[in-house]
Amino acid sequence: MLSRSEGEVVSIGSELAVRRPQKPGPKWHGQRRVRDAFAAAAMLLPAAVLILAFHFLPLFYALYISLHKWSLIPERFVGAANYFALAHDQEFRHSLSVTLWYVVGTVPLAIAISLAIALMLFRPLWGRGIYRTLYFLPYVTSVVAAAIVWSWMYNPRYGILNYILIKLGVCSAESPPQWLLEPRGVFQLALQNAGLHLPTWAQGPSLALVAVTIMGVWNAIGFNVIVFLAGLGSIPRELQEAARIDGADEWKVFRHVTLPLLSPTTFFLFIVSTIRAFQAFNQIYVMTRGGPMGTTRTVTMYIFSRFYESHEVGYGAAVAMALFLIILAFTLLQFRVAAGRVTYQ
């Protein structure tokens, strides 16, 4: 399984083979060199063709499309006009704020919860295997199926969630929360009873978006827990033992030994989860289609609606390019913030 050697995380098959520094190959004879180049070309060909055609060159094609007025067919070159339009597009800005709320709402919360669960599951505990199996279930199953049942649970009238909340006395039976149907911001709703009315920008994410976010957290936990457990497994026990012998209590061991040693894993999860959250589509498509009143229309939903529903291909491509740059900027920012904080052994 996962093991470590020479203080470095070596992912695969390391127990099968001793890892040693790469030696330069045997002396190359001209003939062998040519033969090798041919062999390499032949073996790379299928993957290279597919990746170039469908994953790499399309980036430049997307740029090209975004510089055109392009509906069902290409019409004309318009330069950066789509991008200028984008800068003034209120709907795009709104979708960006929806996406950011979703990212900020899901990523840290899911990582914190998963870390707590992983720490509990890592130590020997009766029934650990069963817990693991069940926690990972949402990650394995499709988001579409899960989103269907979540929207049923969120149903204001017949949903089990409101039934429980009303029974517990958390909300009134006369005006239960509308969840996926509620376009008003949660800050506004919280202050509603006090008779306050907040300006639009301060109303916060809609309750519908919060509901989608909760489902997003639920869905992300399984993957995070698996990765955290693997990360915990790669920390040498001796370090924690040494800290305990030195008199550190459990919290101190966690704070000063486990957490720093786990930081590469945590960092990896932040990067991956952020990218995934920026791309969230499936659950939103099923649960709200971007509604109510566009308050759950993320940038990905917006691209979909512009491109697929309104057939504004050129404009959709421009939005996608903008999203790419935003994700890139966020990733770089995270690397910046992490620099010096992530401890690699």
Partner 1 sequence: MKPANKPKYLRELVRRAACHAVLASGCVVMVFPFYWMLVTSLKGQSEAQMLPPMLWPVKPQWVNFAEVFKAVPMARYLMNSLGIAVVVTAATIVTSAMAAHAFARIQFPGRELAFGLFLATMMIPFEVILIPDFILVHRLGWYNTYAALIVPWCASVFAIFLLRQSFMTIPTELHEASLLDGCSHLRYLWSVALPLATPSLITVGIVSFLGSWNSLLWPLVVTDTPELRPVQVGLAYFTTEAGTKYHLAAAAATVSILPIVALYLAAQRHFVEGIARTGLKS
* Host H or E run for residue 4: strand 3-5
Beta-strand relationship, 8-10 and 68-70? unpaired
Q: Name the one residue in this structure whose structure tokens are 């971007």.
A: 290
Position of tokens 């990746």?
51
Of 16 and 194, the one with the shorter C-beta distance to partner 1 is: 16
> From the centroid of its chain, how far is CA 119?
21
d(CA 131, CA 117): 10
Q: How far is CA 133 from CA 82, 124, 139, 142, in A?
A: 48, 15, 11, 16
State how far the Cα of 284 lies from the Cα of 280, in Å rounded to an integer. Answer: 7
Nearest distance in Å: CB 139, partner 1: 7
Residue 178: CB minimum distance to partner 1, A: 16
Q: Choose between 205 and 316: whose C-beta lies nearer to partner 1.
A: 316
Closer Cβ to partner 1, 52 or 80, answer by number:
52
**Of the two residues 101 and 154, which places its CB atom closer to partner 1 in the complex?**
154
**What token pair was written down for 94?**
């709104």
Least separation in angstroms between CB 130 and partner 1:
8
Taking the least distance from each CB to partner 1, the nearer of 185 and 315 is 315
Q: How far is the CB of 124 from partner 1 (least distance, A)?
A: 9
Q: How far is the CB of 159 from partner 1 (least distance, A)?
A: 8
What letter does residue 181 receive in the DSSP assignment?
G
